[in-house]
Amino acid sequence: TMDIEDDTTVFSTLKSFKSFISLPDTSRNQGEPAPVQSHILQNQYLQRLQLLEAAEKVQSKTQLIQLDQEKRQMEISHKRARIELEKNATLSARDFEREVDRNQDLLGRIRRLEEREAESSQSLSEKAEANRALHRTLESLNRRVEERDGWLNTSNQTVSGLKDEIRDLKQQVQTRDNTISNQTLENQGLQEQVELQHRKYQEVSQRCQALQLASSTCSDHELKIKELERKLALHEQDVVIVKNMRSEVARVPDMDKELRQLREENVYLRETRENVILLKEETEGLRRKVERMEKMKEEMVNVELEKEKLSQKLQAWENLGQSTGLNIRVPPCPSPPGWPPGGAVVYILKLSLPPSCRSVERSKADLQGELLSLRSKALEEQKKRETQESLVRRLQKRVLLLTKERDGMRAILESYDSELSSSDYTPQLSRRLREAEDVLTKTQNHNTEMEVWRRSVCVSMELELEVMKKQQDSVAEGNPLATNEEVNTLRLKIEELEGERQRLEEQNNVLELRLERHNLQGDYNPVKTKVLHFSLNPTSMAKQQRVEEVEALRAEVECLRERLRSLQTGGAVPLAAAAGETSLSLPPSQEVLDLRKQMETAELKNQRLKEVFQRKIQEFRTVCYVLTGYQIDITTENQYRLTSVYAEHMDDSLLFKASGGAVGSGGSMQLMETDFSRTLREMVDLHLHHQKSIPAFLSAVTLDLFSRQTTV
């Protein structure tokens, strides 16, 4: 302690010294920046320095004195200490001897204990070895277990794989079976179809053969038919020819009659022609007369003109007479009644004219009358001539036709004669003639009938036209009863139709409005239009997001509820739950999985070790019991109850209490008072109090009890 104190004083003096040194530096630093006031300051400073130096010296001196004092004190103390030490040394030497004795005792004990220790260590080592062996076995077992697990897993996987394969193969087998069955069915169906087709083919071939036979027979028939048709045509031609022949033959007697008539007419016409020629001559003569008369007329006209001129001259002369005053008057001839005035002159002139004119005029008038009559006659004659000429032409035509017919008939007859050379054909001819006549009559009747029919049709048409006209007139005039009814019905119909039309118009308007409304609302015709939209459209994406959010929220809510429940039940659990189960946090990472595995393995190890320790402890305790004869139970902390093997009663037990901590760290064991221990007072006194040996006591107790047991 003195050294320590010295050190501290040295340190303190060093510190004070350093601080003292530092002070003048600071004072120096403070003095430098003011050179103006430096003299005073310097003096102060120097004073201070001197003072300081003096102080230092004083201090050092005091320190020295102190140190000397301390040194003397230390020497004194040192001496004292030496004395004490010597005392102590002597004491310690005595103690040492004692201790040596004790040491020897202890050494003996130690040797014994060491032996025991060695034994126990051996046992421990053995047990440790056993433990290790057990550990190894455990580990090997674990490894085997793991290997087996692995084998099991692999085998399970192989089993599952094989099962899958089996399933696949079974499915394949099934599908193949199905396909085979389908194909067999198809095969059967196809075979049946083939049979059907064969039968059909046979039938068809039979039909073909029949058809061929029938076609051949048909062709033969057709040839026959053609031949017969040709024969028929020839027959028909013959029939037609025969008919024509009959008709023409029937015409023959009429034609003879007509011939006679025509001849008579011819004769008559020739006679008339001669008359006509005569008449023509007469007409020519009359014409010449007419020409002469015309000439005469012209002369007459000229004469009249001259007469007019003369009359004008007369008038002029009269005028002259009037103008000149001469009364040259012509005695006014009394004009015959009816004559124009002044016509007397003319009359005179006329009278003065040669009477030849009158005669000429008379002759002219006569001739004119004759002319007229002759002209009319001539016209009549001409008409007659024309009609006769037309008749003649017609008759000539008829004659030509008849001659042609006759020639034809003759030719046919000659042909018939040439054909039918040997046979007696007159009856045939007569028959044919009759037939021809009949045909002729028939055609003529037909003709007449047709004409009659035509006329009747015309008449009927005209009648109908007249009737229609009458009807029209009647309608135009107005048949009031019939038309009024019709008009009323028509008006009613019109009104009904108009009403319907209005209704339909209204319906149309309503429908159009509805259509417009539907179009506004977005309706469409599915036949013509369809509605498309983009697959990734905002509505669908928003809906998806919503659904996902809702699900996430639900999951969160459930997790929070679980946490709440766990928190309500216990505090330690949620940690494990939070550690073990992940609710909304990230999925368990590999570290967590590894740690979990490690934890599981550690727990397993713990469990196994516990089991092993339990077993070992049990074993040890039983061994102790068996070997020592005492069952040692720990009742409470540091209290041990011993029960002997040979105890007479179950409750006979010894209680030992360990004081001063646990047994291993130097504390002592004390016997507690029990009922049983009271009975063993002697042994307690001997072994525990005197010998102070608990094992001896215990062994004595066992021997005592054993002796009691065996004797009793």
Partner 1 sequence: MTSTLKGITLKGSAELVAEFFSFGINSILYQRGIYPPETFSRVTQYDMSLQLTTDTKLKSYLTNVVSQLKEWLFDCTVQKLVLVITCLETSEVLERWQFDIECDKSAKEISAPREKSIKSIQDEIRSVIRQITATVTFLPLLETACAFDLLVYTDKDLEVPDKWEESGPQIIDQSEEVRLRSFTTSIHKVNSMVTYKRTDSA
Q: Which amino acid is at 585?
A: S
* Least distance (Å) between residue 559 CB and partner 1: 25
Given the complex with partner 1, which of 270 and 517 has the nearer CB atom?
517
Q: Which amino acid is at 189?
A: G
Given the complex with partner 1, which of 476 and 536 has the nearer CB atom?
536
552 binds partner 1 (CB under 8 A): no
Interface segment toward partner 1; rule CB under 8 A; list 269-277, 356-364, 431-439, 540-548: 540-548
Q: Distance (Å, rounded) from C-alpha 312 to C-alpha 301?
A: 16
Interface segment toward partner 1; rule CB under 8 A; list 128-136, 418-426, 524-532, 693-701: 524-532
690 binds partner 1 (CB under 8 A): no
551 binds partner 1 (CB under 8 A): no
Given the complex with partner 1, which of 527 and 634 has the nearer CB atom?
527
Interface segment toward partner 1; rule CB under 8 A; list 214-222, 358-366, 514-522, 583-591: 514-522
Given the complex with partner 1, which of 541 and 579 has the nearer CB atom?
541
- Residue 460's region, left for phi above 0, alpha for psi from -120 to 50, else beta, is alpha
Q: What are the Cα distances from residue 190, in Å, to 68, 164, 182, 333, 359?
A: 141, 37, 12, 150, 138
Given the complex with partner 1, which of 130 and 550 has the nearer CB atom?
550
Among 4, 36, 481, 520, which residue interacts with partner 1 (rule: CB under 8 A)? 520
Q: Distance (Å, rounded) from C-alpha 384 to C-alpha 353?
A: 45
Q: Distance (Å, rounded) from C-alpha 434 to C-alpha 394?
A: 27
User: What is the arrangement of strands in the sheet containing 668-672, beginning at the earlier edge strand?
Assistant: 630-634, 639-644, 654-659, 668-672
Query: What is the DSSP code (8-state) at residue 292?
Result: H
Q: Which two tokens stand for residue 91?
A: 């004491």
Given the complex with partner 1, which of 190 and 513 has the nearer CB atom?
513
534 binds partner 1 (CB under 8 A): yes
Among 422, 539, 590, 636, which residue interacts with partner 1 (rule: CB under 8 A)? 539
Interface segment toward partner 1; rule CB under 8 A; list 83-91, 176-184, 519-527, 692-700: 519-527
* Least distance (Å) between residue 526 CB and partner 1: 8
- Angle between helical axes of 38-324 and 590-628 (0-180°, round to 10): 140
Q: Distance (Å, rounded) from C-alpha 539 to C-alpha 612?
A: 67
Given the complex with partner 1, which of 531 and 584 has the nearer CB atom?
531
523 binds partner 1 (CB under 8 A): yes
Residue 12 class from Cβ within 10 Å (0-12 exposed, 13-18 middle, 19+ buried)? exposed
514 binds partner 1 (CB under 8 A): no
* Least distance (Å) between residue 497 CB and partner 1: 36
Q: Distance (Å, rounded) from C-alpha 88 to C-alpha 647?
A: 55
542 binds partner 1 (CB under 8 A): yes
Q: Which amino acid is at 422?
A: S
Contact at 8 Å (CB) between 251 and 405? yes
Residues 6+ apart with CB under 8 A from 253: 437
537 binds partner 1 (CB under 8 A): yes
Q: Which two tokens stand for residue 14?
A: 């060093």
543 binds partner 1 (CB under 8 A): yes
DSSP 411-427: HHHHHHHHHS-SS--HH
Given the complex with partner 1, which of 527 and 627 has the nearer CB atom?
527
526 binds partner 1 (CB under 8 A): yes
Given the complex with partner 1, which of 102 and 546 has the nearer CB atom?
546
Q: Distance (Å, rounded) from C-alpha 349 to C-alpha 330?
A: 13
Given the complex with partner 1, which of 362 and 546 has the nearer CB atom?
546
* Least distance (Å) between residue 564 CB and partner 1: 28
The Cα diameter of the chain in Å comes to: 252
Interface segment toward partner 1; rule CB under 8 A; list 301-309, 372-380, 411-419, 525-533: 525-533
627 binds partner 1 (CB under 8 A): no
Interface segment toward partner 1; rule CB under 8 A; list 71-79, 174-182, 534-542, 687-695: 534-542
3-state class (DSSP) for residue 647: coil
533 binds partner 1 (CB under 8 A): yes
Query: What is the DSSP code (8-state) at residue 340?
Result: P
535 binds partner 1 (CB under 8 A): yes
Q: Which two tokens stand for residue 3?
A: 């050294």
Number of residues engaging partner 1 in binding (CB under 8 A)? 26
Given the complex with partner 1, which of 539 and 710 has the nearer CB atom?
539
Residues counted in the chain: 712
Contact at 8 Å (CB) between 254 and 440? yes
Which regions of 18-65 does DSSP assign to beta strands (E)? none
Residue with the two structure tokens 């570290």: 591
544 binds partner 1 (CB under 8 A): no
Q: Which two tokens stand for residue 590?
A: 């590999």
Interface segment toward partner 1; rule CB under 8 A; list 238-246, 328-336, 432-440, 518-526: 518-526
528 binds partner 1 (CB under 8 A): yes
Contact at 8 Å (CB) between 566 and 577? yes
Among 36, 481, 527, 634, which residue interacts with partner 1 (rule: CB under 8 A)? 527
540 binds partner 1 (CB under 8 A): yes
524 binds partner 1 (CB under 8 A): yes
Number of other residues whose CB lies within 10 A of the CB of residue 409: 20
Residue 630, CA atoms < 13 Å, CB-side half-sphere: 22
* Least distance (Å) between residue 542 CB and partner 1: 4
Among 383, 517, 565, 692, which residue interacts with partner 1 (rule: CB under 8 A)? 517
Q: Which two tokens stand for residue 666?
A: 């130097």
Q: Distance (Å, rounded) from C-alpha 136 to C-alpha 609?
A: 12
Interface segment toward partner 1; rule CB under 8 A; list 191-199, 531-539, 582-590, 613-621: 531-539
Which regions of 326-430 does DSSP assign to beta strands (E)? none
Q: Which two tokens stand for residue 102?
A: 């004790």
Interface segment toward partner 1; rule CB under 8 A; list 101-109, 383-391, 418-426, 538-546: 538-546
φ/ψ (deg, to 5) at 337: -60, 140
111 binds partner 1 (CB under 8 A): no
* Least distance (Å) between residue 512 CB and partner 1: 14
* Least distance (Å) between residue 539 CB and partner 1: 4
Among 538, 571, 587, 666, which residue interacts with partner 1 (rule: CB under 8 A)? 538
1 binds partner 1 (CB under 8 A): no
Per DSSP, what are the bridge partners of residue 669? 658
Interface segment toward partner 1; rule CB under 8 A; list 80-88, 282-290, 317-325, 512-520: 512-520
Contact residues toward partner 1 (CB under 8 A) are 517, 519-524, 526-543, 546
